[in-house]
Amino acid sequence: KTSPTITMLYFAAASTSIGLTSEQVTLPLGQSQTESPEHREAELKFPLSSLPSLLLSLHPTALNLKQILDTSQWSVNVEMVDSDDMDKIELKGGEEVAVICPVSGG
């Protein structure tokens, strides 16, 4: 069984920092060997709030990435996510997640 993946889209400063505009990211799900179906089901969800630290671990040399992710907005399947809802949104694989950096006008 393969681990679920999401498609990450990076814009502006996030794209510059990481050096990519998009990538496939494997979610670290279902690692335990428990037999209970309920337990297994619970493991197949990855909170959106955990994604920044996963991205930081995948791109340890990306310049200012933590600060960029901390100040960015997120969208899942083209729907903007309120920062208060990051814990409530669970990724299961197959989603398209975008990091949308703050844009300064002038």
State the total domains in the chain: 1
SS3 state of residue 28: coil
Sheet bearing 73-76, strands edge to edge: 22-26, 5-10, 96-100, 73-76, 79-81
Give the confidence band of 44 by pLDDT, cuts at 50, 70, 90.
Answer: confident
- The answer to whether position 21 is within a domain reads yes
Contact, 45 vs 95, CB < 8 A?
no
Residue 22 is part of which domain span? 5-30+43-100
Predicted confidence (pLDDT) per residue in 80-105, tens digit: 999 899 999 999 999 999 999 987 66
The tokens for 54 are 């996963």
Residue 63's domain is classified under what CATH number?
3.10.20.30
Look at residue 73 and tell me if it is in a domain. Answer: yes
